[in-house]
Structure 1
């Protein structure tokens, strides 16, 4: 899967799938995490929105600590706390995505091929 596929799965499909599978309290926290990423990656946002997200993610992480073991929390999980602050400093996440560049690089990669191993098109 590409990074964009994981992004869509986390924001759109995971909340729907978690509703009926997990206990309600755990599912609610994970759905809130998915909503956090959905709000963070929206195309429209203001400074107040990012401040609200920055405050809500701390409560969200504390709730995650109630249900998941300490081994779950590594550096990557800790970085979630800093994402809203980074978005308020650097601007909307939507304009800093690498997805268009990744697609263009794939297109360039398709142009380059070894003539002895040329694939059928």
Structure 2
């Protein structure tokens, strides 16, 4: 997202606004990186403060909520806590959303969520041992020729599609590369 947002918005905003958005995107890229450098994060913390000052010159005060101010503290949190993806709440929020979808009885939501979760866990456990019955875990792939072995070795996503025409792989020699 930090790479796509500046590209998507560059035609619609002035250069001052775009420079601030690009700077915020660069700050987020550094914070969310796979490797963190403490000296770099300290510089990023200073850049974040300057970027918010530039944003205050452009946007009205109602734009600056506590979430915008959080940008100043994120580099320091990354220094203290380490890599950011270990601290993200997205997987937990998705799981909680799934649990909320189990709620059938609005008067006693805890009971119905626990009951449906237990039922799904029991069905998943039992379906692992059923060989003759088509279940969610053992049904064949909808894509012809795709097996679990191919899926785990070569493809990141489960559905990858198939080419319509024959695929030809051409290798270039050294001269062609130059």
Spell out, residue by residue over 1:21-41, the C-alpha distance to the aligned partner (whole angstroms, 9 max, x if none): 101111111111111111110
Q: Which runs of 5+ in 2 are unaligned?
A: 103-115, 120-135, 137-178
Q: Given the alignment of the two structures, is residue 19 of structure 1 paired with residue 17 of structure 2, yes or no?
A: no
Select which of 53, 62, 87 maps to 1:96.
Answer: 87
The answer to whether the 8 Å contact 1:18/1:31 transfers is: no
Greater Rg, structure 1 or structure 2?
2
Select which of 56, 59, 63 maps to 2:54.
Answer: 63
Q: Which runs of 5+ in 1 are unaligned?
A: 1-7, 115-120
Equivalences, count: 105
Cα root mean square deviation, aligned? 2.6
Separation (CA, whole Å) in 2 of partners of 1:72 and 1:101: 28
Separation (CA, whole Å) in 1 of partners of 2:83 and 2:11: 33
Q: Output the TM-score relative to the length of structure 1.
A: 0.73
Q: Output the TM-score relative to the length of structure 2.
A: 0.51
Spell out, residue by residue over 1:48-101, the C-alpha distance to the aligned partner (whole angstroms, 9 max, x if none): 121111111011011101100111112111111111111101111122223444
**Higher relative contact order structure (alpha carbons within 8 Å, sequence separation ≥ 6):** 1
Separation (CA, whole Å) in 2 of partners of 1:29 and 1:97: 25
Separation (CA, whole Å) in 2 of partners of 1:27 and 1:12: 13
Q: Which has the higher helix share?
A: 1
